[in-house]
Amino acid sequence: MSETVIKCESVYKIFGENAKKMLEESNGNVDAKTFQERGCIVGVNNASFEVAKGEMLVVMGLSGSGKSTLLRCISRLTDATGGKIFIEGQDLLELNNKELIELRRNKMGMVFQSFALLPHKTVVENIAFPLQIKGTNTEESISRAMEMVKLVGLDGRENYFPRELSGGQQQRVGIARSLAVEPDIWFLDEPFSALDPLIRKEMQDEFLRLQEKLQKTIMFITHDFDEALKLADRIAIMKDGIIEQLDTPANIVLNPATEYVRKFTEEVPREKVLIIEDVMDASSKDNLGDLKVSKDEIIENVAEKILTQEKLVGVVDLNNNIVGSIKPSKIIDTVFGGRKNGS
């Protein structure tokens, strides 16, 4: 894989007065219960992972699972209690205030659940805000902000105030603001949770379109498992501050690591998540029928075609080489079978 942008090594975040001391005493074995008895609350417990350039890591968890805390450790809105965090090889926790501000001004963008727009500034002024903070002159920052307005499809509303916009529109402003400085790393903290289901879907599609174009390194927080499946390259599922499983959507659905994760995957429509490659048989490439499907197809899109076949269906890669095969009955197995025995 390509270069690592974000790297966490056993990051801990513990709230409370003696957090640091207690963490040292515990030798890395943090038990939330004993900590709570002594007045500390464990937010993030031994989180280690890497995010590669251009990758989208979705952190999924219910409220109180520590997902937002983890994000705030990595953006250093709160200081981690223990562990190391590297941003493009730089030790984040070693940066002084000035370096941190420099990093945020040039490398990081963040979108918030409640939009967090400045009420006294218009749409375009809000978007230009990070640029002006940086010291870009007014004319340049406004023209740059206008590009952003167009990018998120708000042209014509650039002189509105946040109070005059709907939730979806406000979040578009939030997104545009976070992108104004052209950051390499993009943090999104439940950006669509405060929106109506219909608007949410529209914004997710919009977001995927943007990401296609921009190819940022992304950490995306959500409590919605479907959203995570839809957007993620990889998903980290958190519970009580611990990352229960970190894997691709397909692997999480097919091989949930813990009981907790399995509960989430139970209701997931597999045909919408899995691609042919996940379920194909790579060993048998003979006796194929006429139908060939691409290995990157989502099952749902080709299920009907495959199910009408009697013979094995060939699976091909981008260059039309056969890489495996799939039985029509395998599709039925995947869609209906897996759920009952929870494999």
Partner 1 sequence: MEYLKKYPKLFQWLFLLIVFFALCFAIDVPETYKFIRGQAEFVKDPNQSVYFFLGKEVRYYAFDVFWRLPPLLGWLPIWINDSLFFLMNEWMPMEFWNEDTQEFKTRPLLLEISRNLTSFMTFLIELIREILLGGLETIVAFTSWDFIDAYPWLELPGLPWTIVAAGAALLSYKLSGKGLALFAGLTMIYISIFGQWKPSMQTLSFILVAAPLSFIFGLGLGIAAYKSKRVEKALYPILLVMQTMPQYAVLVPALVLFGVGDHAAVIITMVVAVPPMILLTILGLRAIPPEVIEAGRMSGCTNWQLMFKVLIPTARRDILIGVNQVIMVCFSMAVISAFIGAKGLGFNLLLALNQLNIGLALEAGLCISLIAILLDKMSLAWANKQTDYFGNLTFFQRNKNAIFFAASFVIGIILAYVGTFIFKGSFNYLFEIPHNKGISTADFWNKGVDWIFDTFFVYIKAFNTWLIQDVLQPMRALYLRMPAVATLVLAVGAGYLIGGVRSALVVAALTLFIALSPWWDRALVTLYMATFGVVISCLIGFTVGTLCFQNKKSAAFMLGVCDIFQTFPSFVYLIPVMMLFGITDTSVLIAVIVYATIPATRYTIEGLRSVPVGLHEAATMSGVNKFQRLTKIEFPLAFPHMMLGLNQTIVFALFMVIIGAFIGTEDLGQYILKALSDKNGAGIGLTLGICVAFIGLIFDNLIRTWVGKRKKHLGIA
Closest separation in Å from C-beta 180 to partner 1: 9
Nearer Cβ to partner 1, position 102 or 266? 102
Closest separation in Å from C-beta 269 to partner 1: 33
In the DSSP assignment, the letter for residue 334 is I
Nearer Cβ to partner 1, position 41 or 316? 41
- The CA distance from 205 to 202, in Å, is 5
Nearer Cβ to partner 1, position 134 or 305? 134
**CA proximity to 81, closest of 132, 120, 128, 44:** 44
State residue 232 phi and psi, 5-degree precision: -80, 150
Which residues of the chain form contacts with partner 1 (CB under 8 A)?
72, 75, 77, 101-102, 104-106, 108-110, 112-122, 129-130, 133-134, 159-161, 163, 174, 177-178, 181, 187
Query: Which two three-digit tokens encode residue 284?
Result: 């048998």
SS3 293: strand
SS3 90: strand
Nearer Cβ to partner 1, position 12 or 187? 187
β-strands 4-15, 41-52: how paired? antiparallel
* Long-range Cβ contacts of 264-268 (<8 Å, 24+ apart): 264/60, 264/225, 264/237, 266/339, 266/342, 268/225, 268/226, 268/229
Closest separation in Å from C-beta 132 to partner 1: 8
Closest separation in Å from C-beta 169 to partner 1: 16
**CA proximity to 75, closest of 56, 99, 100:** 100
Closest separation in Å from C-beta 298 to partner 1: 35
Nearer Cβ to partner 1, position 121 or 262? 121
Closest separation in Å from C-beta 324 to partner 1: 45
SS3 content of the chain, % helix, strand, coil (to 5): 45, 25, 30
- Report whether 312 contacts 232 (CB < 8 A): no
Closest separation in Å from C-beta 101 to partner 1: 5
Closest separation in Å from C-beta 319 to partner 1: 43
Nearer Cβ to partner 1, position 133 or 307? 133
- Tell me the C-alpha to C-alpha distance, in Å, between residue 311 and each of 134, 145, 186, 208, 280: 63, 57, 46, 36, 14
**CA proximity to 59, closest of 285, 333, 245:** 245
Nearer Cβ to partner 1, position 203 or 313? 203
Nearer Cβ to partner 1, position 84 or 134? 134
- Report whether 276 contacts 299 (CB < 8 A): yes
